[in-house]
Structure 1
Amino acid sequence: MPKFKKVQLVLAGIFTILFFRFYHLQIYQHSKYEAKAGNNSVRKISIHAPRGIIYDRNGIPIVDNRQIYDLAVIPFDVTSQFDYQMVSKQTGVSSSELQEKITKGKESFHRFRPVPIKRHIDFETRSHLEENKLSLPGTIFSEFPARTYPDKAKLTHVLGYLRVVTDMTASIPNQGLEYKLGDVFGFSGIERIYESILRGNDGTEFRLVDIYGIDHGVYQDNPGQQPVPGKALHLSIDSKLQSLIEDLFSGKKGAAICMMPTSGEVLAFVSAPDYDLNSFAGPVPIELWEGWNSDPEKPLINRGIQGLYPPGSTFKLLAAALAKEDGVVDKSWTVNCNGVYTLGDRDFHCWNDAGHGTVNMDKAISQSCNIYFYQLIQKLSYKNWTGMAEKFKFGVSSGIDLLGEKRGLVPERSYMNKKYGKWGWATGNLLTFVIGQGDVLVTPVQVAQMMNIIATRGNTKTPHLLLDSPAEKISVSLKPLTWDFLQQSTWDVVNHKEGTGKAAKVIGSEVHGKTGTAQNPHGEDHSWFAGYLVKDNIPILSLAVLVEHGGKGSVEAAIISHKIFKYAQKNISL
């Protein structure tokens, strides 16, 4: 046989052997070696980045992170050795549900992607499952960025809570941050407003999995990338003051807001009742969530910016300011108050049934005489009165860095014509407006902002919660004599022996304020007190306190304000 022919036969034999070996490996035993190749592999796991810690103005942490764990499985790695009953016993997820999830995952194109089994398991449960990992091929654990609240101050409606991305088509506030299923995001409050700051960058970890689906830890040749924690956030809140006011509102409904008048920084923000933020560390039980929503006390409403209330006699300051500014009346103009004023066939009452006697503007403010203002409003331009309310930032959002703020209502002529018809309202409506009743509605933050404006003679800034953040300037231009009157009259309310706000007085301090009693058709009247504290000739704290069903502002709200001012006298300075 020619030599060339022999070489051909040898080569043909070699290729035949290689072909059959290739067939055996690639076709006949394809499933076996595909499984081995897949199981002897490295899995890429995402690591949640810790969210930024939130501090108060003094560096006290009020929101921190704590470790809770998620249990997941990689469907491709689950073998027949998987102990469904053990996982079911530890997690409460039924064996049938586990099998359904894993089977569905195996059939999916994403069979290498972790499938969540149980979120928010504790360390003890994780430890027990880890001890039995040989019976649980494909299981992996990841840390979940839950929040914890180490300080006594709860600050519920300011801080807000987190939610988990369960549907990429759902409304997520910051789509540009590239969320994925299982991520958490700030859903409300500061957590939402400053999500881009608080949210860090997730890391990746490569883990070695053997042929039996057992996780052998981090793959040393390529350990991955560590997560980058979110940035810390420093709020303007004084947590000790916040805690004090929360205690003062125990068992009450209402709101209290304290600010630094010159900067607009919010020192305390209370809305009562509230709810437990710790409930959001894991899935909120449906019955708990439904209970909050159906609770007649409405704990989910942020009363500081969403509660709409008649401002009561705090609103008298606007008419007084307008009268002074336009020179409509002077100090010599007086009204006789006998407790009732008759307009047409309707009687309008003063809160003091016995009357105040002869009243000028100074006395009308300090003793909060309704009769004086019933007659004063008839001397003022309705358009100018609504304009003065707008100057003091009523009827518009304050701009505080929280979502859901209501604008309130200053009823202009066009509003009244639309609601009642051109001939359906008259002077009688104005008599209720001037004393902060009727259609007039405000939020507590707007009333506190009015006090900022008076305390600073019209030079303040937008209310805000982020410490040292740039805030929009607010400038209200009035005559010096008008500012003098507003500041003196609010001092008289608290310090005059017959002032309605004398319960708020603090010995040795310069306290200004105005009481208000807001009529409530659904029960006891609401109690208002708004004011500010001056220290070394500088206003250092303003406040608005509203107690629902608290009765007269000269009692409940003024007493709470006294305790706040007393704290501020000792502990607050610029």
Structure 2
Amino acid sequence: MRRNPRELSLLQRSTSRRTLLVGGLQLAFAGGLALRMRYLQIDQADQFRLLAEENRINIRLIPPARGKIFDRNGNVLAQNSPSYRIVIVREDAGDVDQVLQHLSELIPLDQEELDRALTEMRRSPPFLPVTLADQRGWDDISKVAVNAPALPGITPEVGLTRIYPRGADFAHVIGYVGPVSDYDLSKLEDPEPVLRIPRFQIGKVGLEAKREEMLRGKAGAKRVEVNATGRVMRELDRREGQPGADLQLTLDAELQNYVQARLGSESASAVVLDCETGDLRAIVSAPSFDPNLFVRGISVADYSKLTEDPHRPLSSKSVQGVYPPGSTFKVITALAALEEGIIGPTDTVYCPGYLEVSGRRFHCWRRGGHGHVDLETSLKQSCDVYYYDLAMKVGIDKISAMAQRFGIGVRHDLPMSAVARGLAPNRDWKQRVHGQEWLIGDTANASIGQGYMLASPLQLSVMTARVATGRSVTPRLIKSIDGIEQPSGAGEAMELNPVNLRMLRKGMYAVSNDRRGTAYGSRIIEDAFRMAGKTGTSQVRNITAAERASGVVRNEDLPWERRDHALFVCFAPYDKPKYAVSVVIEHGGGGSSVAAPVARDIMLQALYGDTPPLTAYPAKDRSRVKELQDRLRRERLRRDEEESGRA
């Protein structure tokens, strides 16, 4: 059928409009695509280039080498040792159970460590390595390497771990490191990324914890190329990190070892302080423990053994333990009275064996009393009544203030865990803490280092050094950091009457060198090294009137935990003090019979710097001393052989 011209004309106009409309839409769409392509390829080119680079290249941290720790003579106390471990990559292993079964036939696998690794594998991406066994010997590593074709996904690796060559000798000072835990991270507001590296070690206690950031160093980084799933394809470049600072301590490793051996199995502590510089030459708590056990992951059995020991081997008694200082505190009471002008060297107090205070009898340790006693005799024979009488005249506030001037009731700034403040109580303290008035009986007890008075072995050594020198000697543990010497602890003059200090030292000299002195049996024979000291015995139980009437039960007849603490403080040489020593033996009994011989032996070892001659000891002690010296010599030879073997 033929269309007329008019219909054809209308049809053509309609087709042209549709064509223009469709063409226009197509042109607009193509223009939009072109504009979008220009925006993405030109305007946003830098942004997408960065995104592409991040998808292709990962930045991974390189753990820094932890700083080493040395003693004052350069002996290594903490170092990094190669640590061989065996890791598994789950996606490369295929059948994990079968691979682990094959591996267990080659080397022994700890079930607890294996269970931990399996748990970690379930939580981690399949391409990340997980440690199966750590701290392995070369034999195990070589077996895995030789059998590598039969162990898909298993790889031996080498890293660094902390090791403490001196073992238990420095456990309470240096502490130990361990893997970062969730608890460690929770204590930090913004943890450094390096802390999230699997099994990265940080300080847990002691110097390792207190100087963690200094010892840790700064992490390095490496750029690695990864595929779409995050698997490492190759390493592009690396920037090594900054190792941690090396610390040199003021401690003497050989003296520390001797003190540890001398304290033996006692629950005890000892501190050796250099009077000239404030350097700590030895600071020991006994019994001790091997910190290497914690680095490797201590077993439940070993940890239970430590926590259940009544002698508390994990406790740093030298700085953390606080005890009634007993009669060692009498030097403070005497000095407070001397500085107030209340007594002179020839003034006497009559001791009938007790002093009546507010209707209560405060007894002297000597039941029959000491008779008329002056300052020197009161120290030499440790008369309690003399100090009860002084305290009534001086008052607790002045005694407390003097104690704080000599370092008691003061937290000394040492990088060790749980450094105790101790307590030098006064009237305000009791009202504030207990809501009670201070009683005159409290003053009597405090005057002889009992009652509320508390001091740590560290504080007692500081007290003794300040008495010996008249300077505010401050304890120092870190000698240098990366070779840079740290400030001395020699201290300034304390502005005390030098005559009063001389009288006090003279009394302490009589304690150790007068035949009637409480520590005469533990004197030093060598004239050039004569020692001045003060014995102390602090009660841990109340003695009732009935017990006094029938006779006080001897310490050796009491259960261990109810026996008195034995204390002794000393300095030597008397004419030119070099060292101050404090010894506390928990529930040891009498300070004169138990603590004084230990302190004397430690002092001689420090003064000679090596094995002292037997002629420096009283004749009755020489056979025991020789036996100890021989044993230590054998142990030192064995240790040297072991270190040579490791080298």
TM-score normalised according to structure 2 size = 0.73
The residue identity in structure 2 corresponding to 1:469 is Q
Matching residue's letter, 1:293: T
Structure 1 position 255, deviation (Å)? 0.6
Residue 486 (structure 2) aligned to one of 465, 469, 494: 469
Equivalent AA in structure 2 for residue 452 of structure 1:
A
Q: Is the 8 A contact 2:376 2:504 kept in 1?
A: no
Q: Per-residue deviation at 1:388?
A: 1.0
Q: Relative to structure 2, which stretch is displaced further, 477-486 or 320-329? A: 477-486
Find out whether 1:159 has 2:174 as its counterpart: yes
Residue of structure 2 equivalent to 1:25: none
Q: Say if 2:342 is the partner of 1:303.
A: no
Residue 497 of structure 1, CA deviation: 2.0
Greater helix proportion: 2
State the AA in 1 paired with 2:265: G
CA contact (8 A) 1:460 1:475 kept: no
Cα drift, residue 363 of structure 1: 1.0
**Structure 2 CA distance, aligned partners of 1:418 and 1:56?**
43
CA contact (8 A) 1:159 1:190 kept: yes
Q: 1:524 aligns with which of 547, 563, 568?
A: 563
The residue aligned with 1:83 is 99
Query: What amino acid does structure 2 have at the position aligned with 1:87?
Result: L
Find 1:261's aligned residue among 261, 275, 300: 275
Q: Please give the per-residue CA displacement for 1:84-140, whole angstroms capped at 9, x wherever unaligned.
A: 3123453345999877755654xx4xx443233333333322222222222333334
Which residue of the partner structure matches residue 566 of structure 1? 604
Is 2:485 aligned against 1:485? no
Query: In structure 2, do the counterparts of structure 1 residues 141 and 483 end up closer, same or farther at CA, with 3 Å as the change threshold?
Result: same
| Inter-CA distance 319–103: structure 2 relative to 1 (3 Å threshold) | closer
Post-superposition offset of 1:43: 9.9
Cα distance in 2, alignment partners of residues 460 and 174 from structure 1: 38
**Comparing 130-139 with 390-399, which one deviates more in the overlay?**
130-139
Contact 1:245 1:564 in 2 (8 A): yes
Which region of structure 1 is more displaced relative to structure 2, 324-333 or 413-422?
A: 413-422
After TM superposition, the structure 1 stretch with the greater mean CA deviation from structure 2, 194-203 or 257-266, is 194-203
Equivalent pair of 2:322/2:420 in contact (CA under 8 Å):
yes
Which blocks of at least 5 consecutive residues in structure 2 are unaligned?
1-55, 542-560, 611-647
Q: Match of 1:510, as an amino acid? A: R
Q: Which amino acid aligns with 1:378?
A: M
Determine the C-alpha separation between the residues in 2 that align with 1:136 and 1:223.
29
User: Counterpart in 2 of 1:29?
Assistant: none
Alignment of 1:396-411 (within 5 A): 396-411=410-425
Secondary structure at 1:271 match in 2: strand
User: Are the counterparts in 1 of residues 406 and 472 from structure 2 also a CA contact under 8 Å?
Assistant: no
Contact 1:341–1:348, Cα closer than 8 Å, also in 2: yes
2:38 matched residue in structure 1:
none
**How does 1:137-536 map onto structure 2 within 5 Å?**
137-151=152-166, 154-167=169-182, 169-171=185-187, 175-176=191-192, 178-181=194-197, 182-202=199-219, 222=236, 224-226=238-240, 229-418=243-432, 422=436, 426-467=439-480, 468-471=485-488, 473=491, 476-506=494-524, 507-508=526-527, 509-521=529-541, 522-534=561-573
Letter in 1 for 2:212: E
Q: 1:330 and 1:100 mapped to 2: Cα distance? A: 75
Give the whole-Å Cα distance in 2 for the aligned partners of 1:96 and 1:42. Answer: 33
Counterpart of 2:32 in structure 1 is none
In structure 2, C-alpha distance between the alignment counterparts of 1:73 and 1:201, rounded to whole Å: 28
| Cα offset, 1:242, TM superposition | 0.8
**1:152–1:243: 8 Å Cα contact kept in structure 2?**
no
Q: Distance in 2 between matches of 1:367 and 1:294?
A: 39
CA distance in 2, matches of 1:493, 1:96: 62
Report the Cα offset of residue 313 of structure 1.
0.6
Give the 3 Å change call, closer, same or farther, for CA 61–274 of structure 1 in structure 2: same
CA drift at 1:292: 2.3
Preserved contact between residue 65 and residue 147 of structure 1 (Cα < 8 Å): yes
Q: CA deviation at 1:386?
A: 1.4
How many angstroms does 1:455 deviate by? 1.7
Which residue is 1:21 aligned to?
none
Listed as ranges, the matches of 1:98-117 within 5 Å are 102=121, 105=124, 108=125, 111-117=126-132
3-state DSSP of counterpart to 1:564: helix
Q: Deviations over 1:208-238 (max 9, x none)?
A: 999xxx99xx96x857455654333211111
Query: Does the 8 A contact of 2:273 with 2:475 survive in 1?
Result: no
Provide Cα deviations, 1:162-183, integer angstroms capped at 9, x if missing partner.
0101437333699458422321
| AA in 2 matched with 1:169 | L
Pair 1:533–1:93, CA change in 2 (3 A): same
1:477 is displaced (CA, Å) by 2.3
Query: Per-residue deviation at 1:442?
Result: 0.9
Deviates more, 1:483-492 or 1:465-474: 465-474
The one-letter amino acid of 1:483's match is L
Matched, 1:543 2:587: no
Q: Match of 1:267, as an amino acid?
A: R
Q: Which amino acid aligns with 2:420?
A: K
Q: 1:259 to 1:104 in 2, by over 3 A?
A: closer
Secondary structure (helix, strand or coil) at the match of 1:63 reads strand
Task: Provide the secondary structure at the position in 2 that maps to 1:440.
Answer: coil
Contact 1:496 1:502 in 2 (8 A): yes
User: 1:97-136, aligned counterparts within 5 Å?
Assistant: 102=121, 105=124, 108=125, 111-136=126-151
Q: 1:132 to 1:49 in 2, by over 3 A?
A: farther
1:55 aligns to what?
Answer: 70
Pairing 1:6-25 to 2, within 5 Å after superposition: none
CA RMSD of aligned residues (A): 3.2
**Aligned mates of 2:510, 2:119 — CA distance in 1:** 74
Counterpart residue number, 1:67? 82
Alignment check: 8 A CA contact 1:339 1:350 kept: yes
Alpha carbons 2:176, 2:292 under 8 Å: kept? no
Matched length? 521
Q: Helix, strand or coil: the match of 2:162?
A: strand
> 2:631 corresponds to which residue?
none
Q: Is the 8 A contact 1:458 1:476 kept in 2?
A: yes
Is 2:168–2:289's contact at 8 Å kept on the other side of the alignment? no
CA distance in 2, matches of 1:134, 1:45: 28
8 Å CA contact 2:167, 2:290 repeated in 1 = no
Distance in 2 of aligned mates of 1:413 and 1:429: 10
Conserved in 2, the CA contact under 8 Å of 1:153 and 1:240?
no
* Structure 1 portions without partners, runs of 5+: 1-40
Residues 140/538 of structure 1: CA separation in 2 closer, same or farther (3 Å cut): farther
Deviation at 1:266, TM superposition (A): 0.5
Question: Is the CA contact (8 Å cut-off) linking 1:77 and 1:137 kept in structure 2?
Answer: yes
Question: Residues 63 and 147 of structure 1 are in contact (CA less than 8 Å); yes or no, is this contact kept in structure 2?
Answer: yes
Shift of 1:302: 0.6
Of 253-262 and 399-408, the range deviating more from structure 2 = 399-408
Tell me the percent identity: 28
Q: Give the AA of the match of 2:254.
A: K
